Amino acid sequence: MKRIIFLLLTILIHAFVVKAQPKTGPFQFKKPVKVVEHAKYGKISLYDAREIKDNLGVIQVGMLNANRLLVADPSLEKQLQNQLEQMVSGHKADGELLMRLEKFCMAELTGAFSEKGFLDFRAILFSKEVNGDYLQVVRMDTSIVVKGMDVTKATLARASEVVNNLIFDALTKNSETTKSYSFSEIENYEDIQKKQLALYNATTWKDGAYLTYEEFAHQTPSGGKVQLKDGDPYLGFFKENGKGQLKKINPKDYYAVVHASQPFVSSQEQFYPLIKESDDFIFVGPVKETASATNVVVTSLLLGAIGGVFVSGPETNYYTQKLDYANGTFIRMK
């Protein structure tokens, strides 16, 4: 009995201490392990294009896995410059890099017997030219899942590794393209990229079944035409088989379908209608709560809390989402 009382008191004291802790935790990059002897660049600046700029996601701390917003301290730009300087050996080069940061988000979810850490990262590095324009040097777009009993350190380490590798890769490279961007165009880079995709410029969309987002983005369906029964999309979509019979298609086999110029996207074994709103494609559909770091954090903010028990299970909930123009993944909207 005494042991039980002592254990309960320990938990209560720990809970009080955790509650008294600040609701943010500092993020700092780990020291780079690679060095460049003849780097072309000695400076890096940051254009932060993330939708959520005030934090880098959610980590869990303490015995009770209290959630804390992860905040760069010092600022991301100062840390990026410090990382670059630690990678450069010898003479400091005059070249300058600019990072357009589109995603940098971490999150953790705790299950019954293990944890999962998530990292979403996307950035483009440009070199600044003498005339003030910028040329694209390298680009990275990745999502990483870390599994284990305690994934905090591993997730933070992977975040450092991803960013360090991106900078290291750029330090000895020239741009592989002659396409230049003004700073204003880098600010509006997403709009410029969308204008190059048939999906975002069409007023009507090509009927057919699309196997991948790339097909959908370029409006090149390779899966043939689809049909409806009784004009009801909720009954599913059908195609003729070799015998001329209608057979229902499996949503898992396709990224999207278009019927009578109305696009539908596949999610969790069902098709959902897409609506073009402003310059984005929006739908309301299911999201597995462990889909990505970005989605976990957006859910936390939507529900007015940090992190959460409420997103730790395998259940599926419905949210307004938009397509990521770059790779077709689903981004939960704030």
DSSP 132: S
Give me the pLDDT at residue 210, please.
98
pLDDT level of residue 332 (50, 70, 90 thresholds): confident
Confidence tier at 19 by pLDDT (50, 70, 90): very low
CA distances from 87 to 18, 39, 91, 151, 196 (A): 37, 9, 12, 27, 36
DSSP annotation string for 191-238: HHHHTTSHHHH-SS---EEESSHHHHHHT---S---B-STT-GGG--E
pLDDT in tens, 57-68: 887 775 556 678
| Predicted local confidence at residue 242, as pLDDT | 78
Task: Give the CA diameter of the chain.
Answer: 77
CB-facing half-sphere around the CA of 163: CA atoms within 13 A: 30
pTM score of the predicted model: 0.82
Averaged pLDDT for residues 94-109: 92
Of 250-254, 300-304, 316-320, the one with minimum mean pLDDT is 300-304
- Asked if residue 141 has pLDDT above 50, the reply is yes
Look at residue 107 in the predicted model and tell me its pLDDT. Answer: 85
Contact between residue 143 and residue 107 where contact means Cβ atoms under 8 Å apart: no
Q: With CA atoms as reference, report the closest residue to 277 among 333, 216, 214, 235.
A: 333
Give me the percent of the chain exceeding a pLDDT of 90: 57
How is residue 119 written in tokens? Answer: 């990292």
Number of Cβ within a 10 Å radius of residue 180:
15
Q: What is the dihedral of CA 283, 284, 290, 294, to 10 degrees?
A: 50
Residue 178 makes CB contacts below 8 A (sequence gap 6+) with 135
* Tens of pLDDT, residues 156-211: 999 999 999 999 999 999 888 889 999 999 999 999 999 999 999 999 999 999 99
- Per DSSP, what are the bridge partners of residue 123? 101, 140
* Average pLDDT of the segment spanning 294-303: 54
Judge contact between 334 and 301, C-beta under 8 A: yes
Sign of the four-CA dihedral 165, 167, 172, 174: positive
Q: What is the mean pLDDT of the chain?
A: 84
Q: Please report, in angstroms and rounded to a whole number, the separation of the first and last CA atoms in the chain.
A: 48
- Residue 21: predicted pLDDT: 41
Kindly give, in sequence order, each residue whose CB lies less than 8 Å from that of residue 67, ignoring residues fewer than 6 positions away: 58, 59, 60, 61, 300, 306, 307, 308
